[in-house]
Amino acid sequence: MSRFSVTTLGTASAMPTVGRGQSAQVLSVHGRFFLIDCGEGVQNAMVRFKVPMMRIDSIFISHIHGDHVFGIFGLLSTLGMLSRTMPLNIYAPPAFGPILKFFLSYYGEGVRYEIRFTPLKMKEPEVIYRCPSVEVKAFPLNHGIETFGFIFAERPAPLNIRKEAIEKYSLSLAEIGSLKRGEDVRREDGTVIAAEEVTFRKMVPVSYAYCSDTAPFAEEVEWLRGVDVIYHEATYLKEFSDQAVSRMHSTTADAARCALAAGARRLLIGHFSSRNKDASLYEKECREIFPASFAASDGDVFDITE
Amino acid sequence: MSRFSVTTLGTASAMPTVGRGQSAQVLSVHGRFFLIDCGEGVQNAMVRFKVPMMRIDSIFISHIHGDHVFGIFGLLSTLGMLSRTMPLNIYAPPAFGPILKFFLSYYGEGVRYEIRFTPLKMKEPEVIYRCPSVEVKAFPLNHGIETFGFIFAERPAPLNIRKEAIEKYSLSLAEIGSLKRGEDVRREDGTVIAAEEVTFRKMVPVSYAYCSDTAPFAEEVEWLRGVDVIYHEATYLKEFSDQAVSRMHSTTADAARCALAAGARRLLIGHFSSRNKDASLYEKECREIFPASFAASDGDVFDITE
């Protein structure tokens, strides 16, 4: 199993369709599970796609439109029925606060775990979550109501010492410690052992961004620069760009241009309008601009390290 | 197409399972569509099972437990997106009022059709809906919180005159009118033409009851007497009767005994505990008591006139 993967649980936009649920994704990063958005049916999708629901560490809600949150009530209730005790973090726009309050006032009796709600208010990318293996930034999107995107970035692994260097230089424990911190060692005899020469990292950290829902906006590319894999909504085919503009969504071309300009390795697209059932049309339009584009389906698993 | 059928949209109990959604059914009665309960995913089930969502006349909510209502938010939103203008009736326990109010305060902007909410408060069966073809009664169930069952009964069709009688008696229009109202005709010469002799009904009215969630209770059989097809929850197999009692649910045996004592023609069961995936076990236990028992699956269509 990959150390960093994303499962697209729901890839439809607001209108219900056969075969596609509403927006939700789950990230598995170094054994931690993060849920992004909670479209209706998310708990069923997790059961169907074998996501360990009880191990969800944190939930990240992009905005409070129904197709991104109506599944959270059932999920929070079910976690209660399953006797969850581990606290659950929820990061969401401030408007989610009263929704959570409503839920807890009516359905909170069975919820015996702690819900730690953090309202998102930033105007530019800001770290909202950090653990030894991953750091999550949130940043505002452009969707009419308060909406946030998220970047999940692996944190650099600690430096390791090359075995042959230990022998070559007869490194002491203190020297190894310094080198692992990235500090060069200067010996009394004048020898300099460069950390760069004798250390290595076991992995190259990778990152993933979630951008839904949003119309293109000025800072988007700058904020996403360097992200390896970008998920970007592509609600409309190019021919419906008028609707994309008026409803503050993106077209395939918007998503692809963003991925291209940001220098991503791969683009995943979803949130497809119910008007066009054939997702390959969306993929094709993106690939004309950015070849490494992939239309997500419900239950797809993407390895972010690839 | 039958004049009276029920489609079981969701047949699971509270815990999400693969292949079964949460409680919801749709009745098609003489071209009108009635939705009973709105478990999460009901809008997707309607799309999947080709139920004409926009033609839903009324929604009947048994109780406010999440597995019976969490799908209503998405459904009401989607009807708004589909530009519904026809008013929508909702019959539900009073506790649903604040839930609806919450929904409309947050998501009501897109809901441009009128929602006519009727809180249910009866202590015994009471007619809550009547149109030329069907009458709906609600009655209290026994589930700890306010919960209601529903009986949908076809209204008797008007009487028709047998063609041969018109000729035989040279019936006048006035006489036909009287006979169609079921009134005997007494002529000046002393002849009596009995309505019973010269009239008939094109159909024998049938009825359907929905009983979920509930533990057995004293008046249940009496209230259901004469109903043709009963849907009754059977959350637990007999061996888990302790849980049925403590959680105020029914076992297979409870459901079957109720159908038998009420004189039903058929029993449909659902709301199966996620503990046992094989619904045929439930069906088998019911059939030991009441042979015409059927375990419902998602998407099943039952013809109530059969």
CATH code for the domain in which residue A297 is found: 3.60.15.10
Domain boundary among A199, A228, A255: A199
pLDDT at position B277, please? 86
The number of domains in chain A is 2
CB contact under 8 A, B44 and A46: no
- Say yes or no: A182 and A60 in one domain: no
**Chain B interface disruption, residue of A13, A44, A102, A107, most B CBs within 10 A:** A44
Helices B96-107 and B72-81: crossing angle in degrees, nearest 10, is: 40
Contact at 8 Å (CB) between B148 and B128? no
* Residue B259 parent element (H or E): helix B252-262
b/e burial code for range A98-137 (CB count within 10 A of at least 16 → b): ebbebbeebbbeebeeebebbebeeeebeebbeeeebbbb
- Count of CB atoms within 10 A of residue A302's CB? 20
Same domain, A226 and A134: yes
Tokens 């109501």 — which residue?
Answer: A145
Host H or E run for residue B77: helix B72-81
- Give CA–CA dist A253/A58, Å, rounded: 32
Q: Does B79 touch chain A (CB under 8 A)?
A: no
Where is the domain boundary, A143, A170, A199? A199
Q: What is the pLDDT of residue B157?
A: 83
Instruction: Number of A to B CB contacts under 8 A, please give it.
Output: 80
* Same domain membership, residue B59 and residue B176: no
Per the CB < 8 A criterion, the answer to whether A107 and A136 are in contact is no
Residues of B designated catalytic: 67
Q: What is the pTM of this model?
A: 0.92
Indicate if A76 and A124 belong to the same structural domain.
yes
Q: Which of B56, B65, B70 to mutate to test binding with chain A, by most A CBs within 10 Å of its CB?
A: B70
Does A46 contact B at CB distance below 8 Å?
Answer: yes
The yes-or-no answer on residue A278 being catalytic is no
ipTM of the complex: 0.91
Per-residue pLDDT of chain A (306 residues; tens, 9 = 90+): 799 999 999 999 999 899 999 999 999 999 999 999 999 999 999 999 999 999 999 999 999 999 999 999 999 999 999 999 999 999 999 999 999 999 999 999 989 999 999 999 999 999 999 999 999 999 999 999 999 999 999 998 889 999 999 999 999 999 999 999 999 999 999 999 999 999 998 888 999 999 999 999 999 999 999 999 999 999 999 999 999 999 999 999 999 999 999 999 999 999 999 988 899 999 999 999 999 999 999 999 999 999
Residue B209 shares a structural domain with residue B173: no
Residues B55, B172, single domain; the answer is no
Report the residue from B44, B73, B106 with minimal CB separation from A41: B44
E strand or H helix at B159: strand B159-161
Do A287 and A188 share a structural domain?
no
> What pLDDT, on a 0 to 100 scale, did the predictor assign at position B225?
98
Residues B36, B172 share a domain: no
Does A299 contact chain B (CB < 8 Å)?
no
The CA distance from B180 to the nearest CA of chain A, in Å, is 48
Instruction: Say whether both A165 and A287 belong to one domain.
Output: no
Question: Same structural domain for residues B171 and B61?
Answer: no
Q: What is the DSSP string of A52-65?
A: -GGGEEEEE-----
Are residues A190 and A51 part of one domain?
Answer: no
Rounded to a whole number of angstroms, the distance from the CA of B293 to the nearest CA of chain A is 28
User: What range does the domain containing A96 cover?
Assistant: 4-157+204-303
Q: Is the same domain home to A116 and A191? A: no
Residues of chain B with pLDDT under 50: none
For residue A182, give both structure tokens.
Answer: 């990235």
